[in-house]
Amino acid sequence: MAYLAGGCVRDRLLGQEPKDFDVATSAPAAVVQARFEKTVPVGVQFGVVLVVLDGEAVEVATFRSDAAYSDGRHPSSVHFGSPEEDAWRRDFTINGMFIDPVTDAVIDYVGGRADLRAGVIRAIGDPVARISEDRLRMLRAVRFAARLGFAIEPASFAAIRAAASSITDMAWERIGDEVVRMLIDSEAGSARRAFELLDSTGLLAAILPEIAALKGVEQSPDYHPEGDVFVHTLGLLELLRHPTETLAWAALLHDVAKPGCAQSGAQRITFYGHCEIGADMAVAICQRLRRSRETWERVAVLVRDHLRLLHAPQMRLSTLKRFLASEAIEELLELARLDALASNKDLTYYDFCRQRLTELGAAALKPPPLLRGRDLLDLGFAPGPLFRRILDAVAEAQLDGLLQTRDQAIDWVRERYAVPAPPLPLCTS
């Protein structure tokens, strides 16, 4: 006996294409391993084996019931049993159904179909017990509710609120993975709904207190008619559509330093330094949530530079070219576009940069260098600090359009830099 199980059943019943498929079966793990040519024993003690077919991995798990979860993630022991027992050990009713692949019949012991129709996320059985088994289920409930546009059933919601502060007992990497899924699996408005639910359940203050601190931080209405920094951030999240992880984190964290930088003047509220300080805070947050170095380095660039577009029209040509040639420019432009749309909707600076990108083209933004180190050696310069300064100055003049050829660059260097005289020979007499 083998059934499709869990999320793929939920998605099929919702008319959505499943992202992956899980199988629940009466066969023990050893039988599954013997039946298929390529398997990976990811959790044989729990009856779980990955079966690799045509390069795709399918999780196959033996029907089971679980004993207590002593580590908050894994059961201390399992009992291999019936499909009904297996259904009752799962997290939410909408994830606790099976489909017989032969007859296409839905097997539902937990009321999942009714909750799908009602748009409800409901813990199977006692919600307090389900959460105590694996606290990550609190974040999963939020993610499913946000992505599907469902409500969390009152008893399950109350259990999450009561246990919210204990979420940090989990590994931070698992927490970070769930937050990333909320951000990047975003359909229309789902990332915003996720963070509204994180806030209302108390989970936001536990895992991202820096974001909770944005509430009530007022902004000048001429730039931010939408409201305080938290409202603005939610508005930006609402606009996300399957972003990269780095853009998603930057969208969430771009104004994270504003509470500590706010100053009220006679005319308006200012937040001087919030980009630079925010970049450091973004690194610390990404590190806490165990994101990769590549991720937090890029997020830091996006947060630090997210207002540089405002200065683009006044930049000298070489500076503008360097800015537009940045590896992060596409994400930076998208962040700036979303930031504007979530506030005063002024896209002037975004449109300017887009236009200049098109006008200049890739060849002008990243031209091959006119001079290299070998050329300076041939001119008589010795390697050292001056060497680098000359090459940088030539590159700057090239970007400004002052130099177009190698010969022009050589003449330009000869006019501006004196070739050091060779050392005098030692006297040996």
Give residue 171's pLDDT: 94
pLDDT digits (tens, 9 = 90+) for 379-410: 888 888 888 888 888 888 888 888 888 888 88
Q: Which of 139-143, 244-248, 284-288, 318-322 has the lowest mean pLDDT?
A: 318-322
Is residue 186 over pLDDT 80?
no
pLDDT digits (tens, 9 = 90+) for 42-59: 888 888 889 998 888 999
Q: How far apart are CA 356 and CA 367, in angstroms?
A: 16
Give residue 177's pLDDT: 97
DSSP 69: -
Give residue 281's pLDDT: 98
Q: Which of 50-64, 293-307, 313-327 has the lowest mean pLDDT?
A: 50-64
What is the rounded average pLDDT of the residues 356-360? Answer: 94
Give residue 128's pLDDT: 96
What is the CA angle 406-411-413, rounded to 5?
Answer: 95
Q: Name the more confident of 411 and 99.
A: 99
Q: Name the more confident of 18 and 204.
A: 204
Give residue 187's pLDDT: 72
Q: How far apart are CA 195 and CA 203, in angstroms?
A: 9
Q: How far apart are CA 115 and CA 322, in angstroms?
A: 54
Residue owning tokens 């003047």: 265
Looking at the chain, the whole-number percentage of residues with pLDDT higher than 90 is: 66
pLDDT digits (tens, 9 = 90+) for 210-225: 999 999 999 999 889 9
Is residue 342 over pLDDT 60?
yes
pTM of structure: 0.85
Confidence band, pLDDT 50/70/90 cuts, at residue 254 = very high
What is the rounded average pLDDT of the residues 188-210? Answer: 96
Instruction: List, in sequence order, every residue forming a beta bridge with 3; answer none if it has no partner.
Output: 24
Q: How far apart are CA 64 and CA 86, in angstroms?
A: 5
- Write out the DSSP string of 268-325: -EE-TTHHHHHHHHHHHHHHHTT--HHHHHHHHHHHHHTTGGGGGGGS-HHHHHHHHT
Give residue 178's pLDDT: 97
Q: How far apart are CA 245 and CA 251, in angstroms?
A: 10
Give residue 378's pLDDT: 86
Confidence band, pLDDT 50/70/90 cuts, at residue 65 = confident
Q: Which CATH entry fits the domain spanning 1-118: 3.30.460.10, 3.40.50.2000, 3.90.1150.10, 2.30.30.280?
A: 3.30.460.10
Give residue 137's pLDDT: 97
How many other C-beta atoms are found inside a 10 Å radius of the C-beta of residue 144? 19
Listed by start position, the domains of the chain span 1-118, 244-366, 373-416
Give residue 158's pLDDT: 98
Average pLDDT along the chain? 91
Q: Name the more confident of 172 and 362.
A: 172
What is the rounded average pLDDT of the residues 89-101? Answer: 95
Is residue 67 over pLDDT 80?
no
Give residue 423's pLDDT: 61
Give residue 422's pLDDT: 63
Q: Name the more confident of 140 and 402.
A: 140
Is residue 307 over pLDDT 80?
yes
Give residue 267's pLDDT: 78
Q: Beta strand pairing status for 78-80 and 64-66? A: antiparallel
Give residue 164's pLDDT: 98
Is residue 429 over pLDDT 70?
no
